[in-house]
């Protein structure tokens, strides 16, 4: 994809509401130094595979699932504060359009963002849009492939500030 410095702006209506479960999770993850894992949340099969892969990565230590909805639209929430102050953020976009990555690189900074293109790892289903156009087993298999590639690269290139290896099951 062509890299450009050109940007555009969107407006978000402010809310004074908070999600109680999200506040608890965000506070816990911040205190425990967990690393947020986000996906593009795209509606097609590529977005679904990225979403499944993000859940798989987030089951490992020291990662946890981030919420792009709160990150973008509830900036004062505990989840948003956790994601914006984390030392690293893992992002799995569904494809080469990098819809979420092009937002997050401006929101949290390129240096903190580890971006992945899920499709580049499993390289199929490009003729489909609907999630259920690919059987569940195929979706899970592709997501596992992506999650394993993401974990392998992160564990090679990143060590948490606590000094342990992410592969060691950092608490």
* Nearest residue (CB) to ligand SF4, 134 versus 170: 134
Pull the structure tokens for residue 167.
């592969």
47 binds ligand SF4 (CB under 6 A): yes
113 binds ligand SF4 (CB under 6 A): no
Contact set for ligand SF4, span 24-43 (CB under 6 A): 40, 42
Return phi, psi of residue 90, to 5°.
-95, 130
The bridge status of strand 89-93 relative to strand 63-65 is unpaired
Out of 56, 95, 146, 170, name the contact with ligand SF4 by CB under 6 A.
95
Distances (CA, A) of 23 to 16, 91, 155: 13, 21, 28
Out of 65, 80, 94, 125, name the contact with ligand SF4 by CB under 6 A.
94
Are the C-beta atoms of 114 and 91 separated by less than 8 Å?
A: yes
> Where do contacts with ligand SF4 occur on this chain (CB under 6 A)?
40, 42, 44, 46-47, 93-95, 97-99
């Amino acid at each position: 994809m062509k890299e450009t410095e050109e940007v555009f702006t969107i407006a978000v209506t402010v809310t004074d509401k908070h999600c109680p479960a999200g506040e608890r999770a965000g506070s816990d993850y911040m205190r425990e130094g967990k690393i947020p894992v986000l996906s593009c949340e795209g509606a097609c099969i590529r977005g679904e595979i990225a979403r499944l892969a993000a859940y798989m990565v987030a089951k490992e230590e020291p990662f946890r699932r981030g919420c792009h909805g709160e990150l973008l639209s509830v900036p004062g929430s505990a989840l948003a504060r956790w994601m914006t102050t984390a030392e690293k953020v893992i992002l799995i976009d569904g494809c080469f359009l990098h819809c979420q990555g092009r937002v997050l690189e401006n929101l949290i900074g390129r240096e903190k963002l580890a971006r992945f293109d899920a499709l580049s790892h499993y390289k199929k289903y490009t003729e489909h849009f609907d999630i259920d156009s690919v059987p569940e087993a195929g979706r899970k298999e592709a997501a596992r492939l992506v999650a394993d590639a993401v974990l392998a690269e992160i564990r090679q290139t990143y060590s948490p500030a606590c000094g342990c290896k992410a592969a060691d099951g950092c608490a």
